[in-house]
Structure 1
Amino acid sequence: MRITIFRRLMADEFGSLRAETLSKDHVLSSLGGRTVDEALAAGVPAKEIWHEVCEAFDVPAERR
């Protein structure tokens, strides 16, 4: 998954402002105690990050 697609999915699901805030501030233990932005910078695949975000925020299966 490309990062641009990942960012679009985040904005579609959470709204642009909340997606941006979530990406830089919300620490996910499933990403090694990193935020979305930190995980992306560390090279974690965007698809894996999207999966973890969906799990953490109970995104319905049809929108995953």
Structure 2
Amino acid sequence: MRLTEFEQLLQDVFGSPQGRWIAHSHVVSTLGETPDNLIENGYDLAQVWRELCDDFSVPEADRLGIDRPAK
């Protein structure tokens, strides 16, 4: 997963302002840091995304974000 994909998923699943707030302030329960700190420290983006979704009980079907047409 690329950082742009992670950020798009944040927006798709949590909304634009709330997604950024969550990334900045929510401590991921299993990893002990905020998503922003974890990413800065080199954690796998896909793992951070999975754990964040688990913390907020995001349904599996919603974790992939919004379907967009291919470019």
Do the structures match in fold with TM over 0.5?
yes
So what's the TM-score if we normalise by structure 2? Answer: 0.84
So what's the TM-score if we normalise by structure 1? Answer: 0.92
Q: CA deviation at 1:30?
A: 1.1
Separation (CA, whole Å) in 1 of partners of 2:62 and 2:15: 14
Separation (CA, whole Å) in 1 of partners of 2:29 and 2:62: 22
Structure 2 unaligned residues grouped into runs of 5+: 64-71
Q: Which has the higher contact order (CA 8 A, sep 6+)?
A: 2
2:15 alignment counterpart = 15
- Between Structure 1 and Structure 2, the one with more helix by share is 1
The residue matched to 1:47 in structure 2 has which SS?
helix
Separation (CA, whole Å) in 2 of partners of 1:25 and 1:54: 15
Q: Which runs of structure 2 are paired with 1:21-40 in the superposition (5 Å)? A: 21-31=21-31, 33-40=32-39
What RMSD over aligned residues (CA atoms) do the two structures have, in Å?
0.8
Structure whose CA Rg is larger: 2
Separation (CA, whole Å) in 1 of partners of 2:11 and 2:53: 13
The residue matched to 1:44 in structure 2 has which SS?
coil
Separation (CA, whole Å) in 2 of partners of 1:11 and 1:41: 19
Q: CA deviation at 1:29?
A: 2.5
Separation (CA, whole Å) in 1 of partners of 2:3 and 2:45: 6
The 4+ residue runs of structure 1 with deviation greater than 3 A are: none
